[in-house]
Structure 1
Amino acid sequence: MDRQRADPLHVRRLPARLCPKPRILFVGINPSLASARVGHHFAGPGNPFYRLLHAAGFVPEPLAFADAVRLPEFGLALTNIAERATREAAELTPDDYARGRTRLARTIATIEPAVVAFVGGTAYRQFFGPSASPGPGPKPERIGDAAVFVVPNPSGRNAAYPGFADKLVWYRQLRNWARDQVR
């Protein structure tokens, strides 16, 4: 058995943070090893996801990664397209993504979000295919009744949007755009 498959962090599944009819369902690629280690999404050192949520006005107070259980209080939900934790998304297999697409479609049909916000273009392209329109912002596709938006991945490895302010612009745009998408 290879080291990756034998590592218990690679098999740990983080619980999705879901609620019925959220305003926004955030969909990441997959958990990082840091997230798997502590059992919370976007828990990598320096990952600004929760700071972005506060600075963009999605939540009224700063949240730490351990506060993700509170996201439903604010009409927000959180999951990943692939469940398996990895050091990098490149370690995911086509099977990881295929299972993830099926599970995500089922989750969206069940909880009925107004908006599905893919956290990064990789998650978006893995769901819609390689011809999906590039870049962040509102997208033409819908998933059931849910509108679709892409925000930059908050990871510090995101070279296209390296700074907090570069990412914050898109999270604020999502917040404003999502107000118009409420059914």
Structure 2
Amino acid sequence: MLHSRTVAKDLLKAGLKLVFCGYNPSLRSGKSGRHYAHPANRFWRVLYAAGITERLYRPEEDEELLGLGIGFTNLCPRPTRRADELKRQEVLAGARRLRKDLERFRPRAVAYTGIGVYRWFRGSSRSSWGVQGDSAVPGIVDIVVPSPSGLNRMRFEELVEHYRILVPFVREEARRG
């Protein structure tokens, strides 16, 4: 089956409640043009189990989450099998582009799906799971959650517990920044 999309394009717009930011697309996501599309990736199941979405979505429905106030981006656009295949120059360029996008679109919060992606973005080894003490872009809450990739050996239930911290950010009553 041919797809009109050949890369998982950013799904961003002004006023989003939450943006998920990964390292980069998997080869499957790059081919399908959909976020978190690899069958071993637990992202969509985790969102549902954590209560972030009211039903189980599929990668083919990623654009529908914009209507829920949820967007998607990656630190680097190039699809790879593993994030450690990215070159330093790609990461630095991706960090500059991501900062500009966040300043432009100003989501309420950004969930970095992997502690490494946040560390690469910030250029620092200081970070931990959960809400970060200082934000990369003032007024936008930075939250670090584990990667849902099948390469991450964390148990599903543990992933779900980490992602529950995101629920208040997608609820209408959550306050900005």
TM-score, normalising length: structure 2: 0.89
Aligned to 1:88: 82
Aligned to 1:3: none
Q: Deviations over 1:41-96 (max 9, x none)?
A: 11112211111111222222210001001111111111000111111111100111
Aligned pair partner of 1:130 in 109, 121, 124 = 124
Aligned to 1:164: 156
- SS of 1:117 mapped into structure 2: strand
1:103-118 matched pairs, under 5 angstroms:
103-118=97-112
Work out whether residues 21 and 110 of structure 2, in 8 Å CA contact, stay in contact via their aligned partners in 1: yes
Residue segments in structure 1 that go unaligned for 5+ positions in a row: 1-11
Work out whether residues 115 and 178 of structure 1, in 8 Å CA contact, stay in contact via their aligned partners in 2: no
Residue segments in structure 2 that go unaligned for 5+ positions in a row: 1-5
* Cα distance in structure 2, aligned partners of 1:110 and 1:177: 19
Aligned pair partner of 1:173 in 151, 160, 165 = 165
* Cα distance in structure 2, aligned partners of 1:156 and 1:166: 14
Q: Give me the identity figure in percent.
A: 33
- SS of 2:73 mapped into structure 1: strand
> How many residue pairs get matched?
169
Q: 1:46 to 1:131 in 2, by over 3 A?
A: closer
* Cα distance in structure 2, aligned partners of 1:111 and 1:74: 16
Instruction: Please list every run of at least 4 consecutive aligned residues from structure 1 whose deviation after the TM superposition is greater than 2 angstroms.
Output: 176-182
* Root mean square deviation of aligned Cα: 1.6
The one-letter code of the counterpart of 2:134 is E
TM-score, normalising length: structure 1: 0.86
